[in-house]
Structure 1
C-alpha cells in the first residue's frame, strides 16, 4: 500500500487539473438521495462547531449532523486511525489539519470525494486546494480554514523608537537591533523551538517544500538551500542577542506580551484570538502588517496552520457527508458562522466579502485587518507534506531546542541536517522508497 500511495501521489503531482468554471457542481458530481434520512457524525475541535452545524440541521431535516468535540492535532489523527484499523467507530466527517492529510491518505482513512463535491477549485486559494488534492484530481477534503502568516507589532513601541514597519527580513533585523538597543529588555520577536509549523510557514515563504514525490519514491528536502537560509537568518539573530530564544505559548512568553518586553510576533491570521487571550490589557496597542519578505519586489508568504473537512473512508453515506462538507465551507451563511461563531478564518475566497466585514475585536483600531489577511492569503508557493510529519516535527523540537539554547548560528543549520536524517530514516524504516 505504501508504494502504491507514493505512486498515486506522484501521478497526482504530475497531472494538471482541468480548467474549471467555478460552479458548485461539475459534470461528474453525484448527489445524495433527498428522500433518504441519514445521521452523520462529525469530529471537530473548532469551538462552537455544534452551533455552526445547527444552521445545516435546520434546513436539511433528512441529513442530520452531530458534532463530537475532539482534541486537535496528533490525538485526533491517532484516534481516527485506531477506529479505521478496527473497522468501526470512525466518524463520517473529520476535521483534518492540512499537514496530516498525506498520513490519512496513506492509511486509507479519508475518501476521495471529487465526484461528490464537483468542481470547487476556483473557490479556494491555490495553496489550500493543493493541500486537499495533493496537487492532483483526487479530492480528500474541502478546505475549511487557513493560516496565512502575518506580522503583529506594538505600534506604540515603534513610534517611540522611531522605526518603520519592516518590509524585508533585512529591515526586520535592523528594527530588532534598534528596539533592543533602545531598551535591552525588549525584543521584536523570538525563535520558537516548539513550533515546527511556524518554521515550516517561514520556510514555505522562502520557497521550500520539505517533501515531494519522484516517480514511486518520496523526496525529503528539509535541509535544502531555502530552508537553510531561514535557519541561518534566525540563528544569526539569536547569536547576536537581538531577538529572544524562548519558545512561544509558554507562561514566560505570555508575560512578555503583557509587560511589553515582547513587542512583535510573527503569527498568523488567527493571531488576534491568541493576543486577546494572553494579553488583553494591551488591546489598542497592536497593529498588523504583512510578513517581511526576502525580496520586496517578489512578495511571498507561507501558511501556519489550517485544516480541511474530510469524509472518512468508512462513512456509509459518502454523498450526504460530502454535501454537508461543501455547504460548511462555501455557503455564505456557513462562512459567517465559521468566522463569527467558530472563530476560524475560512479558507474560501468569498469569506472576506460575506463573513469578514468587521475586524477582530482585538484589532478594532485596524479596519483593514481582513483586507491585509486577504493579501496575505495569496500564497503561490506550494508546500507538500509527507506521511511522517510527526517524526519531522518531533525532531524539530529536539534539534532546534538545543540550537536555540546554545545560541550559536551554526547550530541552526546543523539542526536541519539532524531533522533531515531523522525524517529520511523513518520513511525508509516504514517501507517507503526515498529518492536521493
Structure 2
C-alpha cells in the first residue's frame, strides 16, 4: 500500500447534480464484505486477477483497512491519496471528472455532498454489484443518505448522531442541572453567564452544518427535491423553533464569539469558558487529543429536546465511499468499498475511533460497554447508539449543498456580527441559494 498527499490549485466547484436523500432501499443483512457480492457484476474474478485501486480519502482509519485488504487479496494494491479534505477534494474530483482523466477508483464523499455527484451520473450505482443486500446492515440515517429509489450511490462509512457534551465540573460548581429541553438550555446559559461572565454555554460564530443539524432535530424540512425541482423554505415550523431559541442566545450575547477548531476554541473547552457542545458522536477523539487537560471534567447526555419528552436526534457529519463512473477498476473498487464499510473492515475502523454506521457494531456489547476515561468512566456509546436510533427521518439536503454552505457566513453569518436577525439571515441564504440553483438550471421555488 502506498500513501501520499496531492496538493493542487483548485478551480471553483461547478455543481451540476442532485439527489433526494429520503428513500430507503431494502435488502438482507450481510457481514462479510470484500468480494462476495455475487450480484450481476461479480467481483471475485477481478480480485483473483488483481490490480491497483486508487482511493481518495482523508479518513486515517482507512490505512489499516487497506493493509488488511491487501493481506487478504495479495494481487491488489491499494493506493491511498489525500487529495484534500471535504470541499477541496470535491473540487479536485469534479475537475478530474470534467477533464476525463485523473479520477480515483474510490472517493470519500460526505453525505451532504453526495447529491452533486449523483445527479450528473458521475458515481456508479452500486446495486448491480450486490450492494442492495446491505439495506439492513446500516443504521437508517446513513443508509437513507446514500440511496435513491433502487439506486445506491455509495456505501456508508461512518455516521455522526448528535449528543450533548457538557463540562460537569462547571455545571456542578454553579449547581446547573443538565438541560433536557432547549428552553432549559437557554436558562442554563443565562445562569452560567450571570454567575461568571467569562463562561458561555457554547460557542457559535455561524456554522452551516451545525445550523442545519439543529433544524433537522427540530423537525424542520427547509429543503425538498424532486428531480430538478427544488424548494427552499426557511419559514417551516421546525426552522422557526430553532430560530426562536437561537435568537435569544444571540440577543443576550450568551454564545462565545469563538470559531470551532480554532486555538481559542480548544482553550475554552479546556478552561471551562465554553461549557457545552451539541455535536456528532465522533467528538470524543477530538476532546481526548485536543483538550487532554480537561479529562474527567466532561460528560455526555442526550441532546436537549424542542418538545419535552421527545427523543429526536439528527446527524452531524459522516461520510460514504463512492465509486466514480470514471474509475478504471470498478469491480475492484467496489470490493474495497464493501470491505471498508462492512464486516471486519467496519469493525477495524470502529476500533480506531470511527463511529459506526453498521448496526452490528453499534449494537455490540463490546461497543456499548466501552468506558471512556475522558468522561469519568462513562459508557458514552450507549447515549450515542440511542441517538443513532432516534435520528429524525426524511431529512433532505440541497442538490448543491456544498455551494450553499460556502455562502452561509455571507448571509446567515451576519446575524452573529451585526443587528441582523437570524430569520433575515436565513432569508438571505434562501434567496442566494434560489438564485444559484436557478442559474444552474434547476427549477427552484416555482
Q: Does TM, scored on the shorter chain, surpass 0.5?
A: yes
Alpha-carbon distance change, 77 to 316 in structure 1, aligned in 2, over 3 angstroms: same
Separation in structure 2 between the aligned mates of residue 416 and residue 72 of structure 1, nearest angstrom? 26
After TM superposition, give the deviation of residue 63 of structure 1 in Å: 3.1
Separation in structure 2 between the aligned mates of residue 86 and residue 150 of structure 1, nearest angstrom? 42
Match of 2:140 in 1: 126
- 1:82-115: CA deviations, max 9, x gaps? 1111111111001101111001113332111112
Alpha-carbon distance change, 41 to 152 in structure 1, aligned in 2, over 3 angstroms: same
Query: How many positions carry a matched residue from both structures?
Result: 423
Whether 1:97 aligns to 2:71 is no
The answer for unaligned runs of 5 or more in structure 2 is 1-13
Alpha-carbon distance change, 417 to 360 in structure 1, aligned in 2, over 3 angstroms: farther
Whether 1:158 aligns to 2:171 is yes
After TM superposition, give the deviation of residue 5 of structure 1 in Å: 6.5
Match of 1:20 in 2: 27
Whether 1:52 aligns to 2:65 is yes
SS in 2 for 1:122: coil
Match of 2:3 in 1: none
Match of 2:74 in 1: 61
Separation in structure 2 between the aligned mates of residue 82 and residue 233 of structure 1, nearest angstrom? 41
SS in 2 for 1:387: coil
Separation in structure 2 between the aligned mates of residue 385 and residue 362 of structure 1, nearest angstrom? 36
- 1:408-432: CA deviations, max 9, x gaps? 5x61110000000010100000111
After TM superposition, give the deviation of residue 381 of structure 1 in Å: 2.1
Match of 1:387 in 2: 399
Separation in structure 1 between the aligned mates of residue 349 and residue 62 of structure 2, nearest angstrom? 8
Select 2:380's aligned residue among 331, 354, 369: 369
Separation in structure 1 between the aligned mates of residue 313 and residue 73 of structure 2, nearest angstrom? 39
- 1:38-66: CA deviations, max 9, x gaps? 21111110125222210111011233322
Separation in structure 1 between the aligned mates of residue 329 and residue 50 of structure 2, nearest angstrom? 10
Alpha-carbon distance change, 334 to 416 in structure 1, aligned in 2, over 3 angstroms: same
Query: Following superposition of structure 1 onto structure 2, how do residues 293-308 of structure 1 map, counting pairs within 5 Å?
Result: 293-308=305-320
Whether 1:272 aligns to 2:284 is yes
RMSD across aligned C-alpha pairs, in angstroms?
Answer: 2.4
Alpha-carbon distance change, 314 to 209 in structure 1, aligned in 2, over 3 angstroms: same
Select 2:425's aligned residue among 411, 415, 436: 415
State the TM-score, normalized to the length of structure 1: 0.90
The answer for unaligned runs of 5 or more in structure 1 is none
8 Å CA contact 1:173–1:237 kept in 2: the answer is yes
Separation in structure 1 between the aligned mates of residue 314 and residue 205 of structure 2, nearest angstrom? 16
More helix per residue: 1
- 1:149-176: CA deviations, max 9, x gaps? 1111111111122221111111111111
Match of 1:79 in 2: 92
Alpha-carbon distance change, 54 to 27 in structure 1, aligned in 2, over 3 angstroms: closer
State the TM-score, normalized to the length of structure 2: 0.88
- 1:125-183: CA deviations, max 9, x gaps? 1111111114x210011000111111111111111222211111111111112212221
Separation in structure 2 between the aligned mates of residue 241 and residue 364 of structure 1, nearest angstrom? 29
Match of 1:340 in 2: 351
Match of 1:31 in 2: 42
Alpha-carbon distance change, 215 to 115 in structure 1, aligned in 2, over 3 angstroms: closer
